[in-house]
Structure 1
Amino acid sequence: MADAAPRLTALAENLLGAPPPVRIRAWDGSEAGPTDAPVLVLRHPRALRRLIWKPGEMGLVRGWVAGEIDIEGDLYEALDRLSGLVWDRPDRLPRDTRLAAAGRELWRLAGPRAWLPVPPPAEEVRRRSGPLHTRSRDRQAISHHYDVGNDFYEQVLGPSMVYSCAYWRDGGTLEEAQRDKLDLICRKLRLREGLRLLDVGCGWGSMAIHAAREHGVEVTGVTLSREQAAYARKRVAQEGLTDRVEIRVQDYRDVKDGPYDAISSIGMAEHVGSALYREYADVLYGLLKPGGRLLNHQIARRPEKDAKGEAAYRVDDFIDAYVFPDGELAPLGSTLSILEGAGFEARDVESIREHYTRTLRVWVANLESAWPDAVRLTSPGRARIWRLYMAASALAFEHNKIGVNQILAVRTPEGGAAGLPLRAREWTETPEIS
C-alpha cells in the first residue's frame, strides 16, 4: 500500500499537536498535507534512517545533501514553515507515550534495515583533532570552504567575485552593489595614493584591485586559500596592477612587514573564533601606524542566554560540518569590547543586515540558474549544500536572527588626533563613480 506520506503526516501531527506546515510526498508515491504549501519530498526510506540515527537538524541535512530529501515549490517558504519545529526545539516534544509510539512508527516506516546507521555523505567534513585555530587547522578549514573551485564561485558570485554582503541602492545589479560596497570601505578608510593597505582574508582579490585601481594605494592581500590566491594574482596581472598589489598565501598572524596605514577585514573575522579574537585584535592593532584605521566587516549573532539567564552559544552543526568548519559568530558588543581592549577607538558602526538578505537571494538565484554547471564543477551534494545554506542564511538575516556590521576603528595616536572628519559619516556622500 502507498501510505507512507499519510502515516508520516499523522506521526508529525501527533507530536506537534498541529498539522505539519508542508505537504509530504513519500518514496512510494503517496502524498498528504496541505495542498497550498511547498512539498517536502522524501525520495527514499534512508532519509528516515538518518533521522533515527541522527535526530534533528543533522539527520535532515544529511538526507538533503545525499539527495534523499528535497523541496518542491518555494524553498524560502518551505524553510520558513519548517523552522522552529521539534528538531530545533526539543522542549516542544511531548514527554509521554506519544514520543515512544512515534519512534516505533518511524522505525517501521524506515524498513527492515532501520537498525543499520547510514554513513554521512562524502561532502561532510571529518571532525578534526587538536586545538582549534592552529595555523594548520585553519588552513584545512579555509581550504574546505574556499577551495571548492574558482569556476563554481564564478557561477554564484558573478563577475565581481566578492563573497561578502553587497551595499545596495535602489535598483542596480549585484556587480554595482559590490562595487559600491568596496568603494564605501575605501572611503571609510580614507584611502589615497601613497598609503599602504593590508587586506586580511583578501579572497579573489576584488578589494585589493579596487583600492589600488580607484584610490591609488599599495595593497598587500593575504589568504590561506591557494586557489583564491592564484585567481587573485591572475586578475591583478590582467589589470596591470602588479606594481601596486601583492597577493600572499599567508596567515595574518605571520604578517611582519607593517606598519600599514589601513587594514580591511571583510568577512574574515568569522573564521577567527572567540578564543583567539583578542589575539586577532592585537595583531591588527600592532600592524597599524598611529592614526591607522581598521574596517572590520563581520557577521554578528544575537546574544543568547540559557535557562539560567547566563550567556550561551551553540555552534550550528550543519554550518560547522558542511560549510564553515570551526567558524564562530560573536555579538556586536563583544567584538567592539575586544577591539577596544586591544587599544582601538571605535569611531563608527553601520549595520547593513537587510543588504545581506538581498545579496544572498541573488547568489541563490545565480546558483539555481546555473545548476547543471554548478553540479558539474563541484558535485551534486556540494551544490545542494551551498543552495541550502545560502537560502537559510538569507532568512536568518531577514528575520534578524543574525546581522552584519561594518566597524571603523582607529589606532588613535597619543594626543587624540584620530585624523577623521569632524562631521560624522562624510563617506555617505558618494562621489560619482566612472
Structure 2
Amino acid sequence: MEVCDMAEAARRLSALAEQVMGAPLPLRLRAWDRSEAGPPGTPVLVVRRRALRRLLWKPGELGLARAWVAGDLDVEGDLYEALDLLAGYFWERGENTGPTRRAAAALAALRDPALRAAGRELLRLAGPWTPPAPPPEEARTGRRGPLHTLRRDKQAISHHYDVGNAFYEHVLGPSMVYSCACWSDPGDTLEDAQRAKLDLVCRKLGLRAGQRLLDVGCGWGSMVIHAARDYGVDAVGITLSEEQAAYARKRVAEEGLTDRVEIRVQDYREVHDGPYDAVSSIGMAEHVGSARYAAYAAGLYALLRPGGRLLNHQIARRPLADESRYHVDEFIDRYVFPDGELAPVGRTVAQLEEAGFEVRDVEALREHYGLTLRRWVANLEAHWADCVRLTSPGRARVWRLYMAASALSFERNRIGVNQVLAVRTPESGEPGLPLRTRDWRG
C-alpha cells in the first residue's frame, strides 16, 4: 500500500479515536509529524506511526502494550495523571466489557478486507501493512500447554526476577524487599516502612528463638535475615530465581547467619522437610494460579506443626458477578508476571479454610501498596540511565508503566493487598494466639 504523508495527523487520529471509542481522547495527542490535537494543559500522548500498525495487527491490550514497550507510545508530563485520564477510556473497572473491548472489536473489523474501505484513513495513517515484530522483552514462557508446571513456573519467575540484581537494587533500595511496605506515616523512608512490614509479619507469626520458619518466595532474603537476626529462628528461604538465591546467600553470609539461614532454589511443591513452626508467603501466592491454589494451601498446611501459623500476604482483585469473565491483562501477562493470576480475598480465605486452616486475622493494606509503588517509581526515575543500561530501554519502560499503573489501581480500589493469618489449629482447639490479635503492632 502506498503511504500518503498526511499533515495534521494528530487531528485526524483524534477524530478516528473518538469515532471508534465513542468519546474524545481525554489528553493531548502529538503525532509523528509533530502536529498536536486535544485538550490543552493535559499530559501529552506521543504516538509514532508504528503504534497504529501494532494496534491494527493486535487490537486491544496487547497492541497497546507492545507499542508502549517499544517506545511507539510515550507520555510527556505527569505519567500518573495521564494513566488516570486514560483509565476510564481504555480500562473500565468491573466486567471487562468496557471501551477496550469495543476498540478491539472495531479495530479488528478494520482488518477485514470487506470493511477496509471504512478504515482507509486509519490504514493510510498507519503506513506499510506489515506486522511489527514484538519487542524482545515479551515473555517467552511457551504459550501452549498446561499452566503452572514446575518447568513453566520456573521460566515465568526467571522472566520477572532474573533481570539483574543491580537493577532491583536501584528500584527497591537497600531493603531489597519486593512487596508492600507498612507505613506509619507517608513521610517515612521506604527502608523504615519495609522493616516495619517484616517485623509485623514476624510478630503475627509469633516467632521466637529456636523455631523453624519457611519463607516461600524468599526473594533476596530480607525476611529470613530479619527473622533469624532479630527473632533467633532457624529459617529456610525458597525461590525459583537463581539470581535471587545467589544474592540472598551472599547477604546471609555477610550477616554471619549461615548457621541459621538456608537459601534454596526450590519450588514450594518440592519442600518435604517439615514440620515448620511458621510459614511466611509474602507476595508469592499471585504466581500460584487458581488451578493450583488448593494444592498450595494444602501443601503449606501439611508442612506446619499443629499450632503452626501461616502469614499469607497477597494481592487481591475485586470480585466479578461472573467469575468466568476474569482475564489477566495482556500487558501484565506478556511483560511483567507471565501466568500470574489474582483472586478476590474472599476466595483466598475460603481456600485456606478448605485446606484445614483456621483463619484468625485479615488485614487490608491497600493504601500502603500505593505509597510503596510510588517510591519504587521515584527510585526508577532517579536512576533511569543506570536502569536502562543494566536491562534495556524496553524493560525499564515496562517497570515504569507497571508500577505507576499499579499504584493508581491500589489508590482507586481496583485491587487490594491483604495479610491473612491462618493457623493449623491443634485438636485441642487452642491455637496459642493472643486474645486480642490486633495487638500485633504494639
How many residue pairs end up in the alignment?
Answer: 423
- Is 1:180–2:196 an aligned residue pair? yes
CA distance in 2, matches of 1:244, 1:8: 62
Q: How do 1:65-104 residues align onto structure 2 when only pairs under 5 Å count?
A: 65-86=69-90, 88-90=98-100, 103-104=119-120
1:11 and 2:16 matched:
yes
Is 1:118–2:99 an aligned residue pair?
Answer: no
1:45 aligns with 2:59: no
Q: Secondary structure at the match of 1:329?
A: coil
Preserved CA contact (<8 Å) 1:262 1:288: yes
1:365 aligns with 2:365: no
Q: Which runs of 5+ in 2 are unaligned?
A: 1-5, 92-97
Distance, in Å, in 2 between the alignment partners of 1:215 and 1:33 is 58
Residues 262-319 of structure 1 deviation map (CA, whole Å, 9 limit, x = unaligned)? 000000000000001010011100000000000000001111134xxx6531111111
Q: CA deviation at 1:95?
A: 9.7
3-state SS of 1:85 partner: helix
Distance 2:15 2:104 in 1: 15
Structure 2: distance between partners of 1:51 and 1:420:
55
Deviation (angstroms), 1:124:
0.5
What's the CA shift for 1:109? 0.5
CA distance in 1, matches of 2:121, 2:90: 17
Whether 2:350 is the aligned partner of 1:337: answer yes
Q: Which residue of 2 aligns with 1:432?
A: none
State the distance in 1 between where 2:222 and 2:15 align: 52
- Say if 2:30 is the partner of 1:25: yes
Shift of 1:90: 4.7
Change over 3 Å in CA distance of 1:102–1:213 after alignment to 2: farther
| Deviation of 1:17 (Å) | 4.0
Contact 2:65 2:330 (8 Å CA) reproduced: no
Letter aligned with residue 42 of structure 2: A
Q: Is 1:422 the equivalent of 2:438?
A: no
Q: Deviations over 1:83-117 (max 9, x none)?
A: 13257525656999x98676322101012x1x211
Corresponding residue of 2:164: 149
User: What residue in structure 2 maps to residue 253 of structure 1?
Assistant: 269
**Are the aligned partners of 1:346 and 1:410 in contact in 2 as well (CA < 8 Å)?**
yes
Counterpart amino acid of residue 2 in structure 1: A
Change (3 A) 1:116 1:311: closer
Change (3 A) 1:57 1:95: closer
Which amino acid letter does the alignment assign opposite residue 343 of structure 2?
A
Equivalent in the alignment of 1:159:
174
1:46-61 residue pairs with structure 2 within 5 A?
46-61=50-65
CA contact (8 A) 2:59 2:103 kept: no
Which position in structure 2 is the counterpart of 1:262? 278
Of the three residues 234, 251, 261, the one matched with 1:218 is: 234
Which residue identity lines up with residue 201 of structure 1 in the other structure?
Answer: G
Alignment CA distance shift 1:45-1:215 (3 Å):
same
Aligned to 2:410: 397
When normalised by structure 2's length, the TM-score is: 0.92
Q: Which amino acid aligns with 2:146?
A: P
* Contact residue 15 and residue 102 of structure 1 kept, 8 A: no
The 2-side partners of 1:90 and 1:145 are apart by 26
How far has the Cα of 1:58 moved from its partner? 1.4
SS of 1:400's equivalent in the other structure is coil
Q: Which residue in 1 is equivalent to 2:67?
A: 63
Confirm or deny that 1:136 pairs with 2:136: no
Q: Aligned-pair distance for 1:45?
A: 1.1
Q: Which residue of 1 aligns with 2:94?
A: none
Amino acid in structure 1 at the alignment position of 2:430: A
Give the distance between the partners of 2:394 and 2:409, measured in 1 at CA: 22
Q: Secondary structure at the match of 2:225?
A: helix
2:280 is paired with a residue whose SS is: strand
1:375 corresponding residue in structure 2: 388
- Normalising by structure 1, we get a TM-score of 0.94
Give the ranges of 4+ consecutive aligned residues of structure 1 lying more than 4 Å apart after TM superposition: 90-96, 98-102
Give the percent of matched residue pairs that are identical in Structure 1 and Structure 2.
73
Tell me if the contact between 2:61 and 2:329 (Cα under 8 Å) persists in the aligned partners: no
Give the letter aligned to residue 209 of structure 1: I
Whether contact under 8 Å (1:192, 1:215) holds in the other structure is yes
**1:24–1:33 CA contact under 8 A, matched in 2:** yes
Return the letter of the residue paired with 1:27: W
Q: Distance in 1 between matches of 2:319 and 2:309?
A: 27
Aligned residue for 1:84, secondary structure, equals: helix
